[in-house]
Amino acid sequence: MKKIFFIFLLSIGYSCLAQQNKMLTEKQIYAVMDENAKALLKESKTNSVSIGIVKDGKTYTRHYGEIDKGKGNKANNTTLFEIASVTKIFTGTLMAQAVLDGKIKLDDDIRKYITGSYPNSEYKGTPVTIKDLVSFKSVFNKDLPDRRDIFKLEKSKIPFEIEK
């Protein structure tokens, strides 16, 4: 299974950015990436590490090891990684930055940012907001009845079936 150590990537990215008083050269950025990847590969059960840093509008990427040990399949800039539960951290971080940059507001209706009509973009007349999405909460009651049958339905119909 492909794994990505996103938190590791963030820590490397932030360690580079933390040195704002000192202009880092491209060579220094790659050296930090190489050093950290080498340590991670040595000290963990990880076969492969991909690191990406965006600094001052420039992207730096490096790939180390093999995805499947002994098979010679190395990651590259087009390799897709499963980030699983880290998606929440990734999404939250991006949204926080968008809020700080004034590009989005937490109380905005999501329909402001999506095209098309979606029957589940509001619940009981209350629109789903950006805050609802990034806080990973629902507006369902905590005392839902045992309705396992709803999970056999098409996902977009579930909220309407729960109402019944």
Predicted pLDDT at 45: 83
> Is 164 domain-assigned?
no
Domain range for 56 is 6-84
Helix (H, G, I), strand (E, B) or coil at 104: coil
Catalytic residue among 44, 48, 50, 85: 85
Phi-psi region of 124 (alpha: psi -120 to 50; beta: other; left: phi over 0): left
Is residue 11 annotated as part of the catalytic site, yes or no? no
Number of domains comprising the chain: 1
> Is 55 domain-assigned?
yes
> Is 154 domain-assigned?
no
The residue type at 30: Y
Please enumerate in sequence order all residues whose Cβ is within 8 A of that of 31, keeping only pairs 6 or more positions apart, or say none. Answer: none
CA gap 161, 153 in Å, rounded? 9
> Is 152 domain-assigned?
no
> Is 58 domain-assigned?
yes
Q: Is the dihedral of CA 121, 124, 126, 132 positive or negative?
A: negative
> Is 11 domain-assigned?
yes
Predicted pLDDT at 4: 46
Predicted pLDDT at 61: 95
pLDDT in tens, 17-35: 554 546 788 999 999 999 9
Partnered with residue 123 across adjacent β-strands are 126
Cα radius of gyration rounded to whole Å, the chain: 21
> Is 123 domain-assigned?
no
Across the chain, which has 164 residues, the per-10-residue mean pLDDT values are: 45 51 81 92 87 90 92 91 81 91 94 88 88 74 61 59 54
> Is 116 domain-assigned?
no
